[in-house]
Structure 1
Amino acid sequence: MTLIMTTKPSPTNPNSKLTTVDILILGAGWTSTFLIPLLEYQHITHAATTTTGRDGTLKFQFSLPKKHDEEPDLKPYSALPAAKTVLITFPLRGAEETKYLVESYIKTHSHSATTSSSQIGLIGEDSETDTKPSFIQLGSTGLFTIPSQPTWVTRHSAYNTTDSRAQAEDALLALGGCVLDLAGLWGGERNARHWIDRVAATKEALATKKSLHMIHGLDVARGIVAVHRRWEKARGERFMLTDLMVYDWWALILGFAGELDVENGNSERAEKQMKWIGELMQEQGVRALPRDMETLGRSYDSREFWETFGIMPTRSRISSVVIGGQY
């Protein structure tokens, strides 16, 4: 299967005028450039929003009411199509934001006009009179970056519960939603080799770089579709998504430095970065790259997601080579 990824949502999306869709994407950004082509390929009806309504999307911008005592304006929610699955791609901060978004959407797409947060129950469940949509929140594995974390980290590991994004995710889980915490994103416009100057600006900065975890946009899209199709395995669960690889920053930079040399015509910079890696290997007693897991430290184990949904990542191994119109 070859999917040609676009740089923006389809400008002539016929699904944008549907009143009922399979998947509603709240926030058609980078992820949608992989997700929308996949949905179209699999004939999954969908609609997407942006804050401006550009490129054939629906205009929607999330915000809490400015005053707690004022009557919320639910017109933006009423204008959205009913969906089996609602995908939230933008970050929500704090439990209040999650509860407000979920309550507002369900209230405007429910047979019961009196739905409140205390009456929502578990989202994604059927009742005698109504079918509640499933909600998926995209998050970041960064919430697992806390002191004293063991080398191997899974979705069940401790995380930063004081983080406002984590609190928003916890609120969705309590309502029966699903959270997909994504590792570093690459593909399309996000080319890994362009990060080198930022992370290897100095030898001192390079010395601190250890492990890196990534996930390609196409595999994010495949994961979202898998959750949509097998919701019974996702309800109330937080999953960690990586491409099952633990990358060594030094190995990546050593591999990409020469490519950047050719692309930018800056051999001096590439030679300096490669020289630093050689010096650091000597200073730290590293015989070969990649370094072992104990040296790299934090390592994410995301096997449970792929095992649960019966799929495997198709873009494991960061590359800058363009194949079939995509990275």
Structure 2
Amino acid sequence: MQEHDILILGAGWTSTFLIPLLSAKRISFAATTRDGRKVAGVTTIPWTFNPDEDSTQQTSKSQFSSLPLAKHILITFPLTGPGQSQNLVKGYSLAHGNKTGGSVKFIQLGSTGIWQIPQKTLWVSRKSPYDTENKRAIAEDELLGLDGCVLNLAGLWGGERDPKKWVDRVAKTKEDVKGKRSLHMIHGLDVARAIVAMMGRWELCKGQRWMLTDGFVYDWWSLMAGWADSKNENGGGDEDGGKADREPLDQARWVYEIMREEKVHALPRSMEELGRCYFGREFWDQFGLVPLKARI
């Protein structure tokens, strides 16, 4: 059985960027989806993780038996609560015994949402306190204890994910706009580049949690004001988006009303006004990279 460089468990949106990068770099891979559909032109293995099956005992057949050998396992779907990370890590290892060329390296994709708790400092890093009762964080901590690595991702954008289209969903009213402060993002291509970099520098990954952003702290008000004409650009207004008497988005108008009411002279607001700010440079510094798609 061929041993791949990486096995992607749950090839979804991230894999539309990762698979082309792996192919371009000639890194061997396999990927799974629930239904075996093609992702980025590649046929995937139909497979679904069953967290209720105890795969930590040696059996002749387990849910991992059909999976190929790989040096790295990328887990893209969330594992939650105690036991699931151990089930997956030990279950895969038991199913393949000594057929792997060494200890398998597990990478879990997580979310920076675990740091959305009161902090004592303005700047939040990967070492800052996080919500240890969060079910995803519990599973991530368990994986770290098994010498895995966790990559906590900021808001994802790129391809079909256009942040401009989120405005109507996240800020339906003026009061919603008033409450919007900082935003942190990462492009799918840079997620893919980060994963490949981690595969080559495992000494920086073993038992470690990393935070991944593009290094910017965005001001929601700045974005809404800057996207004032996006309803025309996105086809929500005039067909040609070029009528001279077109109107800005409601959210952009509300931003300027609130700026006047709260005596905010200009945008973006200061880091202190934005509140929680993620230290987005550390990963790139340590791995010797810079984002390709910074600034939405």
Q: TM-score, normalised by structure 1?
A: 0.82
Taking a change above 3 Å as real, the CA distance of residues 196 and 157 of structure 1, as seen in their structure-2 partners, is same
Could you tell which deviates more after superposition, 192-201 or 208-217? 192-201
- Is contact 2:132–2:138 with CA below 8 Å preserved after alignment? yes
The one-letter code of the counterpart of 2:265 is R
2:259 to 271, 281, 291: 281
Taking a change above 3 Å as real, the CA distance of residues 287 and 130 of structure 1, as seen in their structure-2 partners, is same
Matching of residues 18-97 of structure 1 within 5 Å: 19-55=2-38, 56-65=43-52, 74-97=61-84
- Report what 1:218 is aligned to: 189
- Report what 2:289 is aligned to: 311
Q: How many equivalent residue pairs?
A: 285
> Is 2:275 aligned against 1:297?
yes
- Counterpart CA distance in 2 for 1:21 and 1:273 is 48
- Report what 2:241 is aligned to: none
- Counterpart CA distance in 1 for 2:108 and 2:144 is 9
- Report what 2:237 is aligned to: 265
SS of the residue aligned with 2:71?
A: strand
Q: Which residues of structure 1 form unaligned runs of 5+?
A: 1-17, 113-128, 319-327
- Counterpart CA distance in 1 for 2:207 and 2:251 is 45
Kindly state the Cα deviation for residue 67 of structure 1 after the two structures are TM-superposed: 7.7
The one-letter code of the counterpart of 1:216 is H
CA-to-aligned-CA distance 1:68-117 (integer Å, 9 cap, x gap): 999978443111111111000000001300000001101112228xxxxx
1:102 to 81, 89, 103: 89
- Counterpart CA distance in 1 for 2:215 and 2:76 is 22
- Is contact 2:55–2:62 with CA below 8 Å preserved after alignment? no
- Counterpart CA distance in 1 for 2:3 and 2:101 is 14
Taking a change above 3 Å as real, the CA distance of residues 172 and 208 of structure 1, as seen in their structure-2 partners, is same
Query: Percent identical across equivalent pairs?
Result: 52
Kindly state the Cα deviation for residue 20 of structure 1 after the two structures are TM-superposed: 1.4
Kindly state the Cα deviation for residue 149 of structure 1 after the two structures are TM-superposed: 4.5
> Is 2:186 aligned against 1:208?
no
SS of the residue aligned with 2:283?
A: helix
The one-letter code of the counterpart of 2:237 is G
- Counterpart CA distance in 1 for 2:276 and 2:56 is 45
SS of the residue aligned with 1:76?
A: coil
- Counterpart CA distance in 1 for 2:30 and 2:189 is 18
Q: TM-score, normalised by structure 2?
A: 0.91
- Report what 1:323 is aligned to: none
> Is 2:150 aligned against 1:172?
no
The one-letter code of the counterpart of 2:150 is V
- Is contact 1:85–1:228 with CA below 8 Å preserved after alignment? yes
Q: Which residues of structure 2 form unaligned runs of 5+?
A: 239-244
- Is contact 2:17–2:189 with CA below 8 Å preserved after alignment? yes
- Counterpart CA distance in 2 for 1:200 and 1:238 is 32
- Is contact 1:74–1:104 with CA below 8 Å preserved after alignment? no
- Is contact 2:227–2:252 with CA below 8 Å preserved after alignment? no
Could you tell which deviates more after superposition, 71-80 or 280-289? 71-80
The one-letter code of the counterpart of 2:209 is R
Matching of residues 109-258 of structure 1 within 5 Å: 109-111=96-98, 131-258=102-229
Kindly state the Cα deviation for residue 164 of structure 1 after the two structures are TM-superposed: 0.9
- Counterpart CA distance in 1 for 2:136 and 2:162 is 26
